[in-house]
Amino acid sequence: MLSKYEKELIASIWERLTPVAKDIGSEALSRMFATFPGTKTYFSHLDISLRSPHLLAHGKKIVLALVEGSKDISSLTTTLAPLQTLHAYQLRIDPTNFKLFSHCMLVTLACNMGDRFTPVAHAAMDKYLSAFAAVLAEKYR
Amino acid sequence: MVEWTDFERSTIQDIFSKIDYAVVGPLALSRCLIVYPWTQRYFGKFGNLYNAAAIMGNPMVAAHGLTVLRGLERAVKNMDDIKNTYFELSVLHSEKLHVDPDNFRLLADCLTIVLAGQLGTAFTPAIQAAFQKFLAVVVNSLGRQYQ
């Protein structure tokens, strides 16, 4: 459950990160590949070395989707409908991996925001990422 | 037996030599109680945990955070036998404290995030991976004696 305050906090964090979407996104992915090597199996078709063009582009895509979702969190299912279809029928990423990515995104935010990533911001963001992941997996079965 | 690379060993020793246990421990535990409020179930005797500010200012939480970090140091000093180092603590958490072992992972995640906040860009993906591998071994060892 996200309060009005938390929704605004989440939206403002993502808005501020939009200009550095590719940096935040690729960093989170790199952290995930290093910490959870099994996740690399979904990326055999890309060059996922640190800050590669593929990784920067892919990271940017992911963060921009997170930004978009944050603008109206109560309408996540509508906003993410095309991504739901993509993940369910084409990508078919095992949903456990969403948790792993979310954790690495939280670590990325902590590294880049320092003290501003307060426990309250952390809790709100964790809830948002969980809700986002749940919506992404909705069409799986 | 867990295999540690030289990089992993030196990373763990380096991190723990740099951090202030009395700061990081309380930050990690209070963050866990705030982000995962159901973990408060184990701290009924700790007084006021009513909101984030209360948790962060609670002296019993702070004291326990320090205790946890001191406990972690035992694994840092015995990286080649973490399993046996935590034998008694595992029994304690299972038989006496009745803590669901999933909670160890939640606290470990919060500790990782607190460390990330402190070290900033110095907390590289490779260092994060080493640190999380260490915590995974700790968490596993703490859960081993549950029956």
Q: Tell me the chain A residues in contact with residue B34 when contact means C-beta distances shorter than 8 Å.
A: 119-120, 122-123
**Average pLDDT value for residue range B20-24:** 97
pLDDT averaged over every residue in chain B: 96
Contact B35 A122 (CB under 8 A): yes
Q: How far apart are CA A132 and CA B16, in angstroms?
A: 35
Predicted confidence (pLDDT) at residue B131 exceeds the cutoff of 90: yes
Contact A119 B30 (CB under 8 A): yes
Q: Tell me the chain B residues in contact with residue A34 when contact means C-beta distances shorter than 8 Å.
A: 125-126, 128-129
Contact A110 B30 (CB under 8 A): no
**Average pLDDT value for residue range B19-28:** 97
Q: Which two tokens stand for residue B94?
A: 């299972």
Q: Tell me the chain B residues in contact with residue A6 when contact means C-beta distances shorter than 8 Å.
A: none
Q: How far apart are CA A66 and CA A123, in angstroms?
A: 16
Q: Which of B34, B125, B133 sits opposite A123 (nearest CB)?
A: B34
According to the model, what pLDDT value does residue A122 have?
98
Contact B117 A114 (CB under 8 A): yes
3-state SS assignment for residue B90: helix
Q: How far apart are CA A62 and CA A25, in angstroms?
A: 6
Largest CA distance in chain A: 41
Q: How far apart are CA A60 and CA A105, in angstroms?
A: 13
Q: Which of A107, A118, A120 sits opposite B116 (nearest CB)?
A: A107
Q: Does A115 touch chain B (CB under 8 A)?
A: yes
Q: How far apart are CA A89 and CA A103, in angstroms?
A: 25
Phi, psi values for residue A138, rounded to 5°:
-60, -35
Q: How far apart are CA B56 and CA B61, in angstroms?
A: 8
What Rg, from alpha-carbon coordinates, does chain B have?
A: 15
Q: Tell me the chain B residues in contact with residue A27 when contact means C-beta distances shorter than 8 Å.
A: 125
Span A55-105, pLDDT tens digits: 999 999 999 999 999 999 999 999 999 999 999 999 999 999 999 999 999
Predicted confidence (pLDDT) at residue B129 exceeds the cutoff of 90: yes
Q: Are A34 and B131 in contact (CB under 8 A)?
A: no
Span B34-82, pLDDT tens digits: 999 999 999 999 999 999 999 999 999 999 999 999 999 999 999 999 9
B116: Cβ contacts below 8 Å, ≥ 6 apart: A107, A108, A110, A111, B123, B128
Contact A122 B132 (CB under 8 A): no
Span B46-58, pLDDT tens digits: 999 999 999 999 9
Q: Tell me the chain A residues in contact with residue B133 when contact means C-beta distances shorter than 8 Å.
A: 35
According to the model, what pLDDT value does residue A19 have?
98
Contact A31 B125 (CB under 8 A): yes
Q: Which of A27, A107, A115 sits opposite B113 (nearest CB)?
A: A107
pLDDT averaged over every residue in chain A: 96
Q: How far apart are CA B61 and CA B49, in angstroms?
A: 9
Residue B1's pLDDT band (cuts 50, 70, 90): confident
Q: Does A20 touch chain B (CB under 8 A)?
A: no
CA of B80, closest CA in chain A: separation in Å? 20
Contact A120 B116 (CB under 8 A): no
Predicted confidence (pLDDT) at residue B147 exceeds the cutoff of 90: no
Determine which of A24, A33, A35, A115 to mutate to test the interface with B (most B C-beta atoms within 10 Å). A35
Q: How far apart are CA B116 and CA A105, in angstroms?
A: 11
